[in-house]
Structure 1
Amino acid sequence: MSLANVIRKAYRGLRVLYYGCARRYSWVITCFKFHLNAVDFKKDFVSYGVPIVDINLKGRFKVGHGFRFNSGKYHAMGGRQQQCYFVAGPGAEIIIGDNVGLTSAAIISRKRIVIEDNVKIGINTVIYDTDFHSLYAEMRNSVPERIDGVRCADVHIKEGAFIGGHSTILKGVTIGKNSIVGAGSVVFESIPDEQIWIGNPAKFVRNTYGNLYPSEQQTA
């Protein structure tokens, strides 16, 4: 075996060791952050990388069983990696159900964001329930900037939905049960159950086949 192959194998072995250690380290640090932010969470979560967590003393963040996430540039490498962000302002809520998975996503709440069970959220997706800034120039340009009256509305992602990577989910949106949002979409209107939407702005493409497997779809 050549020296180059020995070096490559040693390198791959070190990577496996690193990722095994990183999972344990990430879980410990994330637990610590969750406790500091009074997050209601289950200890069966799986963390690859450490998220940014900023929950206001009057905010709330709740996580169900089987939560899995990848956070940072070395985990689930798909380009545009960042740490996950879980941010809730005063009186805001983030509620995540069971068996939810996400990668390098940002969930920023000023009112209420609910993600039901079995939802998968692709890399670099952002979910906002607020406009952040006023629609009126004189308020945006004041010093300090005035944020009174900034529009906020609940976001609700129903069970089994899938959101493709690099998507943006905006305030007031409901994404229906088992519906799919194509990669890179910008969603600012609600999507019914069992539909596929893609684009900027996201538009209806077709219905899903529900729980049918491909072989069953041909006879449906």
Structure 2
Amino acid sequence: MNLKSRINFFLFVKLRIWKYQFLSSCNRVVGKPILYQPLQLKGNGRISFGKNIQIGVINSPGYYSNYCYIEARTEDSEIIIEDNVALNNGFSAVALTKITIKKNVLIGVNCSIIDNDGHNLHANHRIVGKPKSVEVFIDENVFLGNNVTVLKGVMIGKNSVIGNGSVVTKNIPENVIAAGNPAKIIRNL
């Protein structure tokens, strides 16, 4: 790495990584991911990283401007990211219940996983009510393309691929390609 590259890394990446570590508030974190981009960890729950977890990609959109956000909101919330997972720039995950990402998963730019509705859907309880939450499970060797959103209660089966821009609202079986809004199976692998 030449001098200019080292200065750029320090000024535009390393300082931001430190900033988001300082802004993080989750105290129940296990494991240490490899950070190529800032990561903010929030909530009162448990966040667990396996071995060889990569956060951010240098040669990808949003490298200098995005950060990854992972929140296990309540004391009972849990996010588990197993070994050899690569999370591209701008990834976010918010759990009220549980989000599990198994081994060897590849996740594209600006992907979002949320195991809840965000707010209670009843009109009189949106601000103060508790949102519905159902566990999300992403099995081994799944590939989520760029700008994919995975919603509550979804299970994505082994080896499946989710196309760019998809919104996954229902379970996806093993060994398929699915895409669209809502995501539908396009073909088998």
TM-score range, shorter chain: 0.7 to 0.9
The whole-number CA distance in structure 2 between the counterparts of 1:36 and 1:154 is: 20
Which residue of structure 2 lines up, in the alignment, with residue 158 of structure 1?
139
Q: Deviations over 1:135-161 (max 9, x none)?
A: 211222xxxx2223x210000000000
Corresponding position: 1:115 with 2:87: no
Structure 1 residue runs of 5 or longer lacking an equivalent are 1-11, 209-220
How many corresponding residue pairs?
185
Matched residue type, 1:78: P
Which residue of structure 2 lines up, in the alignment, with residue 15 of structure 1?
5
Matched residue type, 1:69: I
Post-superposition shift, 1:16? 5.3
Between Structure 1 and Structure 2, the one with more strand by share is 2
Q: Deviations over 1:156-211 (max 9, x none)?
A: 00000000110110000001101000000000100000010000111110011xxx
**Cα distance, 1:87–1:129 mapped onto 2, change above 3 Å:** same
The whole-number CA distance in structure 1 between the counterparts of 2:106 and 2:165 is: 15
The whole-number CA distance in structure 1 between the counterparts of 2:95 and 2:116 is: 7
What TM-score, normalized by structure 2, do the two folds share?
A: 0.86
Corresponding position: 1:206 with 2:187: yes
Corresponding position: 1:96 with 2:84: no
Matched residue type, 2:156: I
Structure with larger RCO (C-alpha < 8 A, sep 6+): 2
Please point out which of 158, 167, 171 is paired with 1:177: 158
What TM-score, normalized by structure 1, do the two folds share?
A: 0.75
C-alpha RMSD over aligned residues: 2.7
Please point out which of 50, 55, 61 is paired with 2:43: 55
Between Structure 1 and Structure 2, the one with more helix by share is 1
Corresponding position: 1:78 with 2:61: yes
The whole-number CA distance in structure 2 between the counterparts of 1:41 and 1:26 is: 20
Matched residue type, 1:206: R
Partner-residue secondary structure (3-state), 1:78: coil
**Cα distance, 1:28–1:82 mapped onto 2, change above 3 Å:** closer
**Cα distance, 1:19–1:79 mapped onto 2, change above 3 Å:** closer
The whole-number CA distance in structure 2 between the counterparts of 1:36 and 1:79 is: 24
The whole-number CA distance in structure 2 between the counterparts of 1:29 and 1:63 is: 20
Partner-residue secondary structure (3-state), 1:86: strand
Matched residue type, 1:164: G
The whole-number CA distance in structure 1 between the counterparts of 2:62 and 2:34 is: 21
